[in-house]
Structure 1
Amino acid sequence: MSVIRLFDFQEAAVARVLDAVNDWTAACAAHGPPRLGRQPIPFVGLLKAVTGAGKTPMLAAVCQGLGPAVVLWTSKSSAVVDQTYKNLQGKYAGLLPPGTRVIRERPSRGDWEHLIAAKAGVDIWVTTVGSWNEAEAVAAGGSADARLNMHRPHPDWGGRLSPWEQLRTRLKRSLWVIYDEGHNQTPTQLDQLVRLEPMGFLLASATPPASELFGKLNEAIRDDDIFGPIASQARVSISTADVVKAQLLKHTLEVLDYQAEPEAMLDEVIDRFRRLEKAVHRERSSTCPRAVYVVEESNPRRGSTELSRPVAIWNHLRRRKIPAEEIALYTQTKELPEDAEKVSSLNALQDRHRHIIFNRALQEGWDDPEAYLCYFDGETNSYTRIQQIIGRVLRQPMGRHSGEEVLNTATLFIRVPNRKYEEIIRQIKNELSLYALDADDPFGGSAIRLKTRGEPLKAISVKSGGKRFSVPNYVLGDAQLAGAIRQVEARGRSMWAEADLIAKGTRRSRTIALEKGSDRVKFEEFANNIRTPNADYFRRKLLLTNRWAAHQVHADSYAGRSFHQASCPRSAAQEALATLAGAVATAYEQSVEYQKNEIAGERSWHVAPHRPSGADLLTFRHATHASYSRKSFNKDEREFADALDSFGKGTWCRNPSTPGEGWALPLPSKVGDSLNFFPDYLWWVKRTCLAIDTTGRHILQAKVRGKLMSIEVPMIVLATRGKVAPDFATLQDDEGWTFARARRGMPPVPQHCDTLDDLVKALYDLA
């Protein structure tokens, strides 16, 4: 069985969530839980990331830091629940605390008794929303979800009281709610879950929870001096640049709109599918591309003599020589051709099923990176019809981009009325803008290119002489950490006293009854029970402080006896370990130097064809490309491009800010949410190259400014609008422009120019 290992960006997100969890629990222990009237206010952790970023394994890893806990893990879709249950017992099991029990929907009597009565360990109960939502249970009638509803007693396994009432009143451990696919939540569902009085919620969603009660709880917390900052810290956004760099996503979404009969659209799907097969063959890849077909209705309307749409699509595929064994129907269609294969669950899908016809049931729960093509049957009048599918088809097979562009592209086939087209494309763009490359750069665009017939993304080639338009690639070398590592090893040899391992202010070690009215005691006990191994806590703090530094400290360095001890949030031990992690990170940032990348094939970066993000292009005379997309520039960047071009000397290019496309330097420490420096422009002039950045973010960052300017080729130039103070700390004036560059044997100083043209000329004279 393969075991999942989190990527660095995923580990960092888990660490941020757990820091907030620990701070919240410790604050509750010290001050009592926050309240709105008599209602305890739960912790709300929000994990905001693009579909495909790995939210489920991240949430599984968060369970390691909850202490003794019962986790109600729920989702609206039964398909998602099935998949989650399977993964938590399989490939994600190594991310959970040792000994975690995972229970599905109807537990055994023994599992339930353990869940309610145990005082240690973690139990995860994976359920559909329908199993506990009262309104959905009524609507479900006699369905399985209705029969398993938690609000009813289940004497055969649950005893006399309803499972819901037992969760609310009888648990000996803290209760947490994980709501996967959180965008499907409704206000009623959220408000019901609050009535369980859980310690907290962990939501996988791009948007905060929305209900009247949640709004009131959030408002009550926002201005609280103690809990307000923790609540803000608990909302963790993951940069899609990291997800794209990890090659978990396809990097192009193509939307083909047809004003044609369905058969013509289906013919195009099949042609594209065969193109994918040829690309797989050329690359000798093991990828098995799939095409999916979304229908609205499984059966014809009553009284109609027409074929059902699933059958009509099946017939067309067969006429185009698609073998019957490669087609699966995941619909409720009653009458099917004799050799048609119908499946009733995700588990029934086989590798040989290359063409899958389905309705909404599969749309909300299926994660398959090999799904490349998605055909929407009938007319699409609303963006909501395709919203869920975007995330489903963007995952990249095997977590690795291909040399074949078609294998990095997801394609949607839609038929949209002319009056609706622009609105739907705008909404797709808005969806992709959630996946910004850099949270600090609103003009950074999307990490995922949108390609439409109205905006053909034909690449703009490099002008002649492109071979000389290149710069060396660099990596961060080894830092001088011997002294810092000796401190870490010394700390490991000295055991902590028990008083230093427990939460500050917590003195109880006996079991406290959790009866109503003893919240202060309950939270003190919970805080004392949430213990993290010191080695895990130290690595987590180091990873949050500086990801690169964490890579340079081998786990053997923090394998001493005291690192095997476990400590509580806000304990003296954790405070000391956090300080130690900060010292290691500082030593790294002060001593690390850039080195040229000597890996074959990665020594140099070369200008590549420009891939415009829209049809609106700007032309230039002295750039490496004849034109660039207008969307590639914000106001300052456009002015700078015009100044470079009108100066008329040398050749410049707009440096793409997309990982894998633009030239970038890894930063020794974070600037905002970014660990990479993408200069806005590369300017080949005289016999050198200048890398110019105009955003101003780096010129004011002392930690990274000097490191960037240690590079000789290209010469790094940091520029910003306005006049920067001599100490680089502030802007003194909004007029003119300031730049800084390396000076041999001397520290950089800010140099002010009255106009942008003066700045460009000054840079030319320095080259």
Structure 2
Amino acid sequence: MIELMPFQIKASEQMANRYVEFRNSDTRPYETRTIPTPYYQALSALTGGGKTPILADTVFQIRLSMPTEPIVLWISKAKSVVDQTYGNFRAGGKYAHLLDSFTITYLKDLSESDIKDGTKPVIAIATTGTFNQRDQEDSSLKIYQTNEDKSSISLWELVKQRQTAEGKSRDLIIVYDEGHNLSDQQIDLLLGLKPEALLVASATLKTPGKLGQMIDRIKATGRTNDDLVTIVSSKDIVDAQLVKKQILLGGYETTMELAIDPLLEKMQILESKVEELNLKINPKAIYVCKTNINQEEGIPDNPARDFELRKAPPILIWKYLVTKGVDPKSIAVYCDLKFSKDFPPPDDFILFSNGESDFEEFQNGNYKHIIFNLSLQEGWDDPNCYFAYIDKSMESSVQVEQVIGRVLRQPNATHFPDSDLNTAHFYIRMDDRTVFPVIIEKVRAKIASEFPEVDFNSYTNTGSSGSRIQEPVKGVMKVPQTHIDASEAILPIERILNSIHDYRGDNVNTVGQGVRSETVQKVASSEKSEIVSTLLPQTNRVTARWIIDREIQKLYPRARGVCLLTDPRLDAKTQFTSPAHQVLKQAGNNIVDEYLKNSLLVSDRENYYEVGPVMVNPDSVQHFENALHSKYSGLNSLELEFARAIDKEGYPWSRNPSNGGYFIPLLHKGTSRNFFPDFLVWKDNKIYALDPKGENLIVQDAGKKLLDIRDFEGDLDIAVRLFTKGKWTDSPIEKSNESGYTVWSLRAGKVWARPFDTVEEAVKAALL
């Protein structure tokens, strides 16, 4: 079971709230006199951002505001993605808890009784190929055919009518989690079902034909593109540690063997680190190349030859991996590689050449080395994938930037202290070194637009020792981990829970109400159409426990650790928009407030963060004498000023990597959950966490990050100091002079601003 993160809840709530506003609005457009225009929303989120759980949670919330239990048609282009979605949604799946009470089925297995039973919501999952045929009357697709044993009309027609046994029409929600693949014909067929809502996981969706007309009708009511797209911040995804923090791109103008060697060496190093840290990670590598061509000559490879004589890239890669000691059982070749029946591959050559037909078997194999052709299988996204060898030789059409997303997911959604464990490694083989700068610029452009929070480094290597990109640490230096002591928050939280009203027998405060607006146009009349609003009963309920827990999860998930929601009174069910719902949401908010107010940060001398090696750009390094690393790169002008001043003080110090480095939990609501100070200094059995900040951040950071962190005995252990350019006052917090620098710390529990003329004076004072 995977819990939603606050930014994911924020996205799903925005989509659901926009639906409620759209449904209840008197400006909702209509396609005909009686058919309202569907609610439309596109979800824009990066690879690894959790589009599927966001959409699932959105569906659950939209359902709560509907007068009937809806039918959800959840579609994808690839069968492998459909099967994966079904596995995740059904009982025991990692997203099943997000769709509590939903019947999960494949569309082909949807029965007439499922549709007529209006007491349970249904999600029917299908590929576009299930219905993507214009001529329905003479169609060979089963969905358009009648089965007299089951129904006198086709399944497609049953979905279109959606009539309960009582004759009520059920709302239809359509979800397409690969919206960029939608075609005009698919849109026409789907809109023909008269859906209530259309959700797509794409912000770059082409909108021709009926979809474009539908969107134009929505925009004509005053809504903008911003109203039609929910954007998940890439920073939130990186901060949530769902994707790797760094991308390292190496270019190799050399043979295939010499390009794969460093990959295997680095993989072995990573495996040692995983074992040392006792992590449940299994580092994997993918190899992307052409399939049925002769690697040396560029002509079609002859399958009617002995295996040892074959020159197809997948075979050459497989043979080389085996000669390097890789177990053939850990290698999967997933591509349409041709073999003659008279010249079969070795028995231990594991080939998956049937595309989606054997994808599930491939997935279950959990292979460590996977050889793909130019088109990586949709649905394959493994966070354990750290390495990618990409063959760009012989004018290969492999697009490196399109492979990046497959290697970016982060195992366990956790950035680790060692930078290698947060890095996606790419090894690009090429015949012409002039190709590499072009690749770099394409990758850099993709990262800038889609992954701006991910660091990017590159180097070239002709098969010799090459450039050094990792700077080792000089010695062992540690920082005590910081934990939240919430013991004092338990009692006030219990008081809030005990004061909650018992809604189990309440049929007044637990009832919500929706509104449906309809337009009425007189026939053969030029009079303006009339908007008629109708109050709708709501039938869908959630428990008081769910409402409180969700609010805590959204505002500050760590508070759930001391909030026991076991009281039977919380079994009470209530509807959205009901008075009880609002009271329970406020209770969740109050619980978070009490948790933050009564919790303390303490250092733990039994658990430590140990400073490890850092990544540097050899072309732009700055050298330091007293730092734990001889050189750093990527320092902005303000950070560089302070780094030089810190180095002059003579104490051991380190630049602290953001994400994956040492962090301090933040005791405040907001998207940022952890604080990564820029610099760490060790002096007199105390650690100083120093962080130069822009002046636009100081007001919000003062009081949140200015923390003197003490150990369990109450002794000062870690002192946090912020810096800003200019001279400031602390009461009120405002700049009084543009020159100089200000040190921000705590004194007697209050924010204390100390102005200085030079950065050297500021750093010296901060370390006292």
Post-superposition shift, 1:195? Answer: 6.0
Match among 700, 719, 725 for residue 715 of structure 1: 719
Query: Does the Cα contact within 8 Å between 1:533 and 1:566 map onto a contact in 2?
Result: yes
3-state SS in 1 of match to 2:18: helix
Equivalents in 1 of 2:280, 2:709: separation in Å? 44
The farther-off stretch of 480-489 and 371-380 is 371-380
Superposition pairs of residues 61-460 of structure 1, within 5 angstroms = 61-67=57-63, 68-89=69-90, 90-92=92-94, 94-107=96-109, 111-133=110-132, 147-148=140-141, 152=144, 167-168=159-160, 170=162, 172-182=169-179, 184=181, 193=190, 196-204=193-201, 207=203, 209-211=205-207, 235=232, 239-244=236-241, 253-262=247-256, 264-265=258-259, 290-298=284-292, 309-311=313-315, 313=317, 327-336=331-340, 337-338=343-344, 339=346, 341-343=350-352, 344=354, 345-349=358-362, 351=365, 355-359=369-373, 362-379=376-393, 385-395=399-409, 410-416=424-430, 417-432=432-447, 445-446=453-454, 450=457, 452-453=459-460, 456=467, 458-460=469-471
Which ranges of structure 2 fall in alignment gaps of 5 or more residues? 64-68, 164-168, 304-309, 524-528, 711-715
Please name the residue that 1:625 is paired with. 629
Cα distance in 2 for partners of 1:606, 1:328 equals 37
Q: Secondary structure at the match of 1:239?
A: helix
Change (3 A) 1:221 1:5: same
TM-score for the superposition, normalised by structure 2? 0.77
CA gap 1:533/1:218 in 2 versus in 1, 3 angstroms: farther
In 1, Cα distance between the equivalents of 2:416 and 2:674?
A: 23
Match of 1:636 in 2: 638
Partner SS, residue 720 of structure 1? strand
User: Equivalents in 1 of 2:754, 2:38: separation in Å?
Assistant: 52
* 1:477–1:595 Cα contact (<8 Å) kept: yes
Residue 484 of structure 2 is aligned with which of 458, 476, 487? 476
Corresponding residue for residue 544 of structure 1: 554
Task: Say which SS state the counterpart of residue 715 (structure 1) adopts.
Answer: strand
Q: Give yes or no for contact 2:23–2:515 (8 Å, CA) kept in 1.
A: yes
2:575 corresponds in structure 1 to 568
Residues 467-496 of structure 1 deviation map (CA, whole Å, 9 limit, x = unaligned) = 5x5544321111434234223222143557
Cα deviation, 1:261-311, whole Å, max 9, x if unaligned, reads: 445546666676777778888889886665443344447899875865545
Letter of the 1:625 counterpart: H
SS of structure 1 residue aligned to 2:649: coil
Specify the code of the residue in structure 2 equivalent to 1:125: A
Q: Distance in 2 between matches of 1:402 and 1:666?
A: 16
Q: 1:651 to 1:149 in 2, by over 3 A?
A: farther
1:670-709 alignment, distance < 5 Å = 670-671=669-670, 673-684=671-682, 689-695=687-693, 696=695, 699-701=698-700, 704-705=703-704, 708-709=707-708
Shift of 1:539: 1.1
| Selected match of 1:580 from 559, 577, 587 | 587
Distance in 1 between the 2:448 and 2:301 partners? 43
2:600 match: 593
Shift of 1:538: 1.3
Which residue number in structure 2 is paired with residue 439 of structure 1?
A: none
- Provide the C-alpha distance between the structure 1 equivalents of 2:651 and 2:367, rounded to a whole number of angstroms: 52
SS at match of 1:119: coil
Aligned-partner SS, 1:493: coil
Other-structure match for 2:665: 666
More moved, 214-223 vs 98-107: 214-223
RMSD of aligned alpha carbons: 4.8
Q: Secondary structure, in 3 states, of the residue corresponding to 1:500? A: coil
- Greater mean alpha carbon deviation, residues 177-186 or residues 527-536: 177-186
- Give 1:79 deviation, angstroms: 2.1
Looking at structure 2, the residues matched to 625 and 399 of structure 1 have their Cα atoms a distance apart, in angstroms, of 27
Deviation at 1:685, TM superposition (A): 5.7
Cα displacement (A) at 1:522 = 10
Q: 2:491 is aligned with what amino acid?
A: A
**What's the offset of the Cα at 1:592?**
1.6
Structure 1: gaps (5+ residues):
437-441
Quick check: 1:178–1:201 contact (8 Å CA) kept in 2? yes
Structure 1 CA distance for aligned equivalents of residues 665 and 753 of structure 2 = 23
Q: Deviations over 1:206-250 (max 9, x none)?
A: x55453687887798789899999767775667234543xxx656
- Describe the SS at the equivalent of 1:491: coil
1:617 maps to a residue whose letter is: V
Match of 1:529 among 539, 542, 550: 539
In structure 2, distance between residues paired with 1:354 and 1:686: 47
> How far apart, in 2, do the equivalents of 1:622 and 1:377 lie?
42
The 1-side partners of 2:504 and 2:544 are apart by 11
Question: How many pairs were matched up?
Answer: 714
CA contact (8 A) 2:2 2:95 kept: no
Task: Give the 3 Å change call, closer, same or farther, for CA 160–585 of structure 1 in structure 2.
Answer: same
1:708–1:716 CA contact under 8 A, matched in 2: yes
Q: What amino acid is the match of 2:471?
A: I
**1:87-133 residue CA offsets vs partner (Å, 9 max, x unmatched):** 333523632534533333523xxx24245433232222222233344
Looking at structure 1, the residues matched to 493 and 653 of structure 2 have their Cα atoms a distance apart, in angstroms, of 42
Q: CA deviation at 1:540?
A: 0.9
Counterpart of 1:554 in structure 2 is: 564
CA contact (8 A) 2:415 2:660 kept: no
Instruction: Determine if contact 2:480/2:603 at 8 Å carries over to the other structure.
Output: yes
Contact kept in structure 2, 1:72 and 1:124, CA below 8 Å = yes
588-597 or 221-230: bigger deviation: 221-230
SS in 2 for 1:121: coil
- Alpha-carbon separation, structure 1, partners of 2:405 and 2:114: 35
Percent identity, aligned pairs only?
24
Note if contact 1:24-1:227 (Cα within 8 Å) is conserved in structure 2.
Answer: no
Q: How far 1:628 moved relative to its partner? A: 0.8
CA contact (8 A) 1:280 1:287 kept: yes
Partner of 2:37: 40
1:491 aligns with 2:519: no
SS in 2 for 1:714: strand
Instruction: Name the CA shift for 1:637/1:232 in 2 (closer, same or farther; >3 Å).
Output: farther
Task: Render the CA deviation track for 1:513-557: whole Å, top value 9, x for unaligned.
Answer: xxxx999999954x723432221111111222222323321122x
Amino acid at match of 1:651: Y
Instruction: Quote how far apart the aligned CAs of 1:576 are.
Output: 1.5
Are the equivalent residues in 1 in contact too, given 2:515–2:534 (CA < 8 A)? no
Give the helix-richer structure, 1 or 2: 1
Distance 1:543 1:373, change over 3 A: closer
Task: Name the structure where strand makes up a greater proportion of residues.
Answer: 2
